[in-house]
Amino acid sequence: MIEPNQIIAAARYLKDEAGFDMLLDITSVDYCPRVEGRFHLVYHFYSMKKNQILILRVPLNGNEPEVQTIEGIYPNANWYERETWDLMGVHFSGHSDLRRIQLPADWEGHPLRKDYPLGYEEVQYSFNYDDIAKTKSHPKD
């Protein structure tokens, strides 16, 4: 577990000196009611020579977290970080191409967050469109 501002240094050390030459995965977890350390980024590094996996956890504070990209060190972080931004809303500063990857470009919200509701739209027995719009948590349309 390391602090978010050390991620670049840690990744560089892992790649250049510790021999972790492959980035297996980046994912994220949301511990929602918590604000301090609400999001955890989970990095999986793999060393071909030593046949070891190293897991780094990076806690991030606040609802709009931001962390530096490691795309410059591991090129395949590009899509993982885009996915994490798309689904979890973790912003990677310095990323070359931070667009949504899975969802349409005009989507609002980040579905994997715990405060994003899962489910269908309730049937409204009303033509009062103002009232209907109020009940929607994510007024997309």
Partner 1 sequence: MIKLPAASMDQIKHLVSERALTGETMLLNMGPQHPSTHGVLRLLLELDGEIIVNCIPDIGFLHTGIEKNMEAKTYQKAEVMTDRIDYMYTMGNNLVYCLALEKLTGLDVPERADYIRVILAELSRLQSHLLWIGTSAMDLAAMSVFLYAMREREMILDVFELVTGQRMMTTYIRPGGVWRDLPEGFEQSIRQILKVFPKRIKEYESLLTRNPLFRDRTIGIGKISVEDCIRRGVTGPVIRGSGLAYDLRKARPYSVYARFDFDIPTQQEGDCYSRYLVRVEEMRQSLRIIGQALDRLPKGPFRSSNRKFVPPPRSELGVSMEALIHHFKLWTEGFSAPCGSVYVGVESPRGEMGVYLEGDGGPKPYRAHYRTPSFVNLQALPLMARNHFVADLVGIIGSIDIVLGDADR
Applying CB under 8 A, does 49 fall inside the site for partner 1? no
Report the alpha-carbon distance of residue 54 to residue 85 in Å, rounded.
22
Q: How many CA atoms lie within 13 A of 110 on its CB side?
A: 24
Binding of residue 118 to partner 1 (CB under 8 A): yes
Q: Residue 128 Cβ, how far from partner 1 at the closest point, in Å? A: 28
Q: Which of 6, 12, 16, 97 binds partner 1 (CB under 8 A)?
A: 97
- Under the criterion CB under 8 A, does residue 37 sit at the interface with partner 1? no
Does 4 bind partner 1 (CB under 8 A)? Our answer is no
Q: How many residues bind partner 1 (CB under 8 A)?
A: 39
List the structure tokens of 121: 């739209």
In order, the DSSP letters of 10-29 are HHHHHHHTS---EEEEEEEE
CB of residue 59 vs partner 1: minimum separation in angstroms?
14
Nearer to partner 1, 32 or 124 (CB): 32
Dist CA 115 CA 109 (whole Å): 10
Q: How many CB atoms lie within 10 A of CB 11?
A: 23
At its nearest, how many Å lie between partner 1 and the CB of residue 87?
Answer: 8
22 binds partner 1, rule: CB under 8 A? yes
Q: Which of 8, 18, 98, 132 binds partner 1 (CB under 8 A)?
A: 98
Between 91 and 132, CB nearer to partner 1: 91
Give CA–CA dist 49/10, Å, rounded. Answer: 19
**Burial readout 124-135 (b: 16 or more C-beta within 10 A, e: otherwise):** eeeeeeeeeeee
Verify binding: residue 112, partner 1, rule CB under 8 A. yes
